[in-house]
Amino acid sequence: MKPGFRFAVEAVDGAARAGTLTTPHGSVPTPLFMPVATAASVKGVDIGRVAETGAGVILANTYHLHLRPGEALVEQGGGLAQFMGWGGPTLTDSGGFQVFSLAEQVKVTEEGAFFRSHIDGSAIALTPEAATRIQERIGADIIMQLDHVVALPNDRGTVADAMRRSLRWAERCQAAHQREDQALFGIVQGGLEPDLRQESAAALGALGFPGYAVGGLSVGEGPEAMQAALAATMPYLPADRPRYLMGVGQPQDIVAAVAAGIDMFDCVLPTRCGRNSLIYTFSGPLRLRNAIHAADQRPLEEGCPCVACRHSRSYLRHLFLSGEMLGPVLASIHNLTFYQRLVARLRAAVVAGRFAEVARAVGGVWPGDPTEPRGGD
């Protein structure tokens, strides 16, 4: 394990775990949810308000930061956390997903991914070594290997080739990684094929990464398929290392993934939905533009400590209908706070040995919502 980086499982209920993740920038309880700060900014929410939501780790994206402002400027600003004024731990995605979802004219070879920027069309080569070097300069506490992401559904041969290429790239990232104050995570791939997921997880486990991510899910495959992929993967990952499900997601998906043994999450949904007046509560979704809220003097959710819940639903609806930017900002803060309260509630349930009961109560009010892809906000 890297100096200054530790993970301890402190309670287990079924496969669900409660633990503590320690990094050079502090310790945070798990399960944890990371707000997405794609370009070193949680969209619409200043860093002080992000801290007030209870967030422990913030995620930023290598692809976007490499294109603008460039890793050299982030490095000159003291590294990612200092650059954006955040005092806690940070994580950077390698940019693999964004290359295959945003970039133009992408060509993948064994050497790496070659593409043109979606911003200015400039030619860029992203190899495992380059992705690692860029992340070292950005300076996050946790960085990710470069993986080869393919669309789902896809034919088995394409998925298998991408998974095995990701394994070879994992070894190259590991060989290139020099910073002792960073933890490099491997990423499990394999689509919806259980045996490919198992092969990927077992091979990565043998490489001894300090943590492991499960990638290539939350791309429209549906909750049952995601849960089947997790069931195939979890037994092959080391039990003493943190497990991170990338880009997930809806509250019911987080509940199901914690039940499977996942410790870490990120997703753009809290802020993206907040900007579009969709509110998360423990009673289910609340669509703030609906006329039923026009004269409702209640807060968005009783007992929520966020700044948005100091105001009435009536007032917040008025802000949206009036086009006031404060409406999306407050809704985003509430949703980010909800996600932190959700993972805290799941953690407490594991510690108390009541996870199944709490999971049924929480997950049952969020049926049928679509998952969202891993990506920028």
Residue 152's pLDDT is 82
Cis-peptide into 285, omega within 30 deg: no
At 319, give phi and psi (nearest 5°): -60, -45
Segment 10-16 shows an average pLDDT of: 98
Question: Which residues have a Cβ under 8 Å from the Cβ of 288 and sit 6 or more positions away?
Answer: 277, 278, 279, 300, 313, 316, 317, 320, 327, 331
Query: What was the pLDDT predicted at 220?
Result: 63
- DSSP code of residue 15: T
DSSP secondary-structure letter at 371?
Answer: P
Whether residue 368 is predicted with pLDDT greater than 60 in this model: the reply is no
pLDDT digits (tens, 9 = 90+) for 251-299: 999 999 999 999 999 999 999 999 999 999 999 999 999 999 999 999 9
3-class secondary structure, 263? coil
Tens-place pLDDT, residues 117-132 = 888 988 889 999 999 9
**pLDDT tens, position by position, 56-98:** 999 999 999 999 999 999 999 999 999 999 999 999 999 888 8
To the nearest whole percent, how much of the chain has pLDDT over 90? 83
* Structural domains present in the chain: 31-267 (3.20.20.105)
Asked if residue 144 lies in contact with residue 187, where contact means CB atoms within 8 angstroms, the answer is yes
**Residues recognised as catalytic:** 93, 266
Quick one: pLDDT at residue 100? Answer: 74
Strand order in the sheet with 142-144: 32-35, 264-267, 243-245, 211-214, 183-188, 142-144, 90-93, 58-61
Instruction: Report the alpha-carbon distance of residue 258 to residue 256 in Å, rounded.
Output: 6
In whole angstroms, what is the distance from residue 184 CA to residue 102 CA?
24
Band the pLDDT of 377: cuts 50, 70, 90: confident
Predicted local confidence at residue 367, as pLDDT: 63
pLDDT at 363 (0 to 100): 79
Mind listing the pLDDT tens digit for each residue in 199-217? Answer: 999 999 999 999 999 998 8
pTM: 0.95
| d(C-alpha 62, C-alpha 147), whole Å | 13
